[in-house]
């Protein structure tokens, strides 16, 4: 019987809370200085975080493309591929492919089709421009182990098909990978920095709110409010404001990132797998952007909780 009564009373209290949430503002927080400052600052941080996130994701995608292809890859260009080779009855392309296949230190040899080459060149030359051109054949080669003896192989290929170019990616692939990693590390560092600044902003805003509402907080403390009661009110507000700020920052960042992606798409797509950049933003970035307002909200909540509890702890 008593249990039921107590339960009914608790349910009524819950209902009342929903009906009239006015005293969620007993402390007068709605009038606080945080209202304008906090969402704006957190929004700015969310905007920067979006950019950093995009940078990290782009750099990761970029370096992945180059790591797949790798340090031990060659590109061989054979001009005038259909002409007859000098040292065999085959045409020049077939002869080069045969020599490459026979060479030690080579895992795979693949002559790119005309369509593949056209696709590679399309961003620079347009879709129809390759029609009338006398394009060289391109052979993609994957090395294994220590790779082929480059100088000998080149000489051999040139003897069979003069004018053939052997391009070893190794060196600059490593440089691009290093660059991509630096950009990535920078982006993560920036994310960490931006998170720290956002936490500092919430701390400052919460402390300003505590100072501004000092008398009210002390009174409510004296009436028997627990630290948790008081912290919850500040944290609820910081959570809402930080979430709104995060949402705003992301909303502003979105068109900016879409614009950057549109600019970068041909370049990145031209180098390799264009699917990663289509339709406009990578999927990882969408998830990341969706997470930013939530992270802002969580940061607002946790920071306000910690700040308020630390402020209250010296009270008896």
Contact residues for other proteins, defined by CB under 8 A: 9-10, 12-13, 15-17, 19-20, 22-23, 26, 28, 31, 215-216, 219-226, 229, 316
Instruction: For 114-139, give one letter per residue: b (16+ CB within 10 A) or e.
Output: eeebbbbbbbeeeeeebeeeeebbbb
Spatial strand order of the sheet with 106-111 comes to 106-111, 137-143, 73-78, 165-168
- State the minimum distance, in angstroms, from the CB of residue 232 to other proteins: 12
Nearer to other proteins, 183 or 220 (CB): 220
For residue 157, give the 3-state DSSP assignment: helix
Nearer to other proteins, 7 or 67 (CB): 7
Cross-strand partners of 142: 73, 108
- State the minimum distance, in angstroms, from the CB of residue 13 to other proteins: 5
In which residue are the tokens 């990616």 written? 169
Closest CA to 75 of 216, 202, 206, 170: 170
Nearer to other proteins, 31 or 84 (CB): 31
Q: Which helix (H) or strand (E) holds 138?
A: strand 137-143
Closest CA to 74 of 161, 147, 162: 147
Nearer to other proteins, 216 or 265 (CB): 216
The Cα 114–Cα 103 span in angstroms is 25
Nearer to other proteins, 26 or 80 (CB): 26
- State the minimum distance, in angstroms, from the CB of residue 6 to other proteins: 11
Neighbours of 282 (CB within 10 A): 18
Nearer to other proteins, 19 or 151 (CB): 19
Nearer to other proteins, 28 or 149 (CB): 28
Of the CA atoms within 13 Å of residue 129, those in its CB half-sphere come to 10
């Amino acid at each position: 019987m008593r249990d039921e009564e107590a339960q009914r009373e608790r349910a009524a209290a819950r209902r009342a809370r929903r009906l009239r949430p006015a005293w969620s503002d007993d402390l007068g927080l709605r009038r606080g200085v945080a209202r304008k400052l906090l969402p704006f600052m957190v929004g700015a941080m969310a905007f920067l975080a979006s950019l950093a996130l995009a940078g990290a994701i782009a750099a990761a995608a970029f370096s992945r493309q180059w790591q797949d292809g790798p340090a031990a890859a060659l590109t061989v260009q054979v001009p005038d591929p259909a002409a007859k080779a000098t040292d065999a009855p085959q045409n020049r392309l077939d002869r080069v492919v045969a020599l490459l296949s026979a060479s030690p230190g080579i895992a795979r040899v693949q002559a790119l089709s005309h369509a593949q080459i056209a696709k590679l060149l399309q961003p620079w030359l347009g879709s129809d421009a390759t029609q009338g051109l006398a394009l060289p054949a391109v052979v993609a080669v994957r090395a294994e182990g220590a790779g082929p003896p480059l100088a000998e192989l080149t000489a051999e290929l040139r003897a069979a098909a003069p004018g053939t170019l052997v391009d070893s990616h190794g060196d600059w692939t490593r440089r691009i990978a290093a660059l991509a990693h630096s950009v990535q590390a920078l982006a993560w560092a920036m994310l960490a920095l931006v998170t720290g600044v956002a936490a500092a902003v919430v701390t400052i805003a919460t402390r300003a709110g505590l100072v501004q509402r000092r008398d009210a907080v002390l009174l409510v403390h004296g009436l028997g409010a627990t630290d948790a009661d008081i912290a919850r009110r500040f944290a609820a507000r910081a959570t809402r404001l930080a979430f709104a700020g995060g949402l705003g920052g992301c909303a502003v960042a979105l068109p900016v990132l879409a614009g950057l992606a549109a600019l970068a798409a041909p370049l990145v797509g031209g180098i390799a797998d264009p699917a990663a950049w289509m339709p406009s933003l990578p999927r990882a970035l969408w998830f990341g952007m969706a997470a930013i307002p939530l992270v802002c909200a969580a940061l607002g909540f946790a920071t306000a909780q910690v700040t308020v509890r630390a402020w209250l702890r010296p009270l008896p």
